[in-house]
């Protein structure tokens, strides 16, 4: 698919850490040096174990970050949206990617050579601060989810996963979560099986908590979903 090179100075992705925190001088350099590529839904962006050569920025679309565990079982670690950065966890150590990334939908990603990115980071302290806050937030959310998933039953895990998706990607005026995932992908987030996901989503729908239209899930009773997951309020 032919796409035009996104212009950093006119980029509509207002959540991009680089655009928000770099000086015009460095933004000009980034605009000249960056690469951009279209990824089809399901296409691999980053391969776990491969050397880190570039850092990726989601311009449009969404991605899932996964790791392969025992018995080659895939686990979704976190999900990414426009403005998020991919590949940073591979910096340092043996400089290999610690996880893989795949496009959840047709997406456009910008990328920068690792050496150029590191030089930009050194010269823009606000960018460092923003990246630290981003990963601190993601780590805190991941820790909280892991603690809860260990103690939750399957029904609670799936309710919690729907809340996570709602908080990460938002929903339209009908309550439809703005991301479409396969039942297997939902299972990989909730640490359960595809069969259990299908079972409890059907139960939630019968109870009037959600409605389902193919891969689209709409939350009809958010308060009930929170109660089901043992939450007192929406986590941001």
Reduce the DSSP state of residue 13 to 3 states and report it: coil
> In the prediction, which pLDDT does 37 show?
93
> In the prediction, which pLDDT does 235 show?
41
pLDDT band at 3 (very low <50, low <70, confident <90, very high): low
Q: Which domains does the chain have, with CATH numbers?
A: 8-134 (2.60.120.10), 152-228 (1.10.10.10)
How far from each other are the two terminal CA atoms of the chain, in whole angstroms? 36
What count of Cα atoms within 13 Å lies in the side-chain half-sphere of residue 55?
Answer: 23
* pLDDT at residue 30 greater than cutoff 90: no
> In the prediction, which pLDDT does 2 show?
59
Mean pLDDT of 24-53: 91
Please tell me which residue, 90 or 196, carries the higher pLDDT value.
Answer: 196
> In the prediction, which pLDDT does 1 show?
58
Each residue of 142-178: pLDDT tens digit? 777 777 778 899 999 999 999 999 999 999 999 999 9
Cβ contacts of 72 within 8 Å, gap of 6 or more? none
* pLDDT at residue 134 greater than cutoff 50: yes
* pLDDT at residue 234 greater than cutoff 60: no
> In the prediction, which pLDDT does 232 show?
47
> In the prediction, which pLDDT does 20 show?
75
Mean pLDDT of 28-48: 93
| Sign of the CA dihedral with 44 first, then 141, 212, and 230 last | positive
> What value does the mean pLDDT of the chain take?
87
Reduce the DSSP state of residue 118 to 3 states and report it: helix
Strand partners, 86: 56
Contact between 119 and 127 under an 8 Å Cβ cutoff? The reply is no
Taking alpha carbons only, the member of 231, 196, 233, 228 closest to residue 209 is 228
Cα–Cα separations (whole angstroms), residue 165 to 29, 57, 123, 143, 200: 35, 20, 35, 16, 16
Strand partners, 176: 218
Q: Which runs of E-coded beta strand occur in the chain?
A: 35-39, 44-46, 54-60, 63-68, 74-80, 85-86, 100-103, 107-113, 210-213, 216-219
Percentage with pLDDT > 90 across the chain? 53
Please tell me which residue, 195 or 73, carries the higher pLDDT value.
Answer: 195
The Cα–Cα gap between 187 and 180 comes to: 13
> In the prediction, which pLDDT does 236 show?
34
DSSP states of 149-176: HHH--HHHHHHHHHHHHHHHH-B-TT-B
pTM of the shown model:
0.86
Q: Both tokens of residue 17?
A: 């850490």
Each residue of 188-212: pLDDT tens digit? 999 899 999 999 999 999 999 999 9
* pLDDT at residue 84 greater than cutoff 50: yes
> In the prediction, which pLDDT does 214 show?
84
């Amino acid at each position: 698919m032919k796409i035009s090179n996104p212009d950093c100075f006119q980029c509509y992705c207002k959540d991009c850490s680089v655009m928000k925190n770099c000086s015009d001088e460095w933004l000009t350099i980034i605009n000249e040096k960056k690469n951009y590529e279209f990824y089809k839904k399901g296409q691999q962006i980053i391969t776990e174990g491969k050397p880190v050569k570039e850092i990726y920025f989601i311009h449009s679309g969404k991605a899932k970050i996964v790791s392969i565990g025992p018995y080659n079982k895939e686990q979704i670690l976190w999900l990414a949206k426009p403005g998020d950065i991919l590949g940073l966890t591979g910096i340092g150590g043996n400089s290999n990617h610690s996880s893989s990334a795949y496009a959840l939908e047709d997406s456009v990603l910008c990328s920068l050579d690792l050496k150029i990115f590191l030089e930009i980071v050194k010269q823009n302290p606000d960018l460092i601060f923003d990246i630290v806050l981003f990963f601190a937030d993601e780590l805190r959310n991941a820790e909280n989810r892991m603690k809860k998933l260990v103690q939750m039953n399957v029904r609670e895990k799936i309710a919690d996963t729907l809340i996570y998706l709602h908080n990460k990607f938002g929903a339209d005026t009908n309550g439809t979560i703005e991301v479409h995932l396969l039942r297997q992908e939902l299972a990989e987030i909730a640490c359960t099986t595809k069969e259990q996901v299908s079972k409890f989503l059907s139960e939630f729908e019968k109870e009037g908590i959600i409605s389902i239209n193919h891969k689209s899930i709409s939350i009809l009773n958010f308060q009930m979903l929170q109660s089901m997951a043992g939450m007192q309020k929406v986590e941001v």
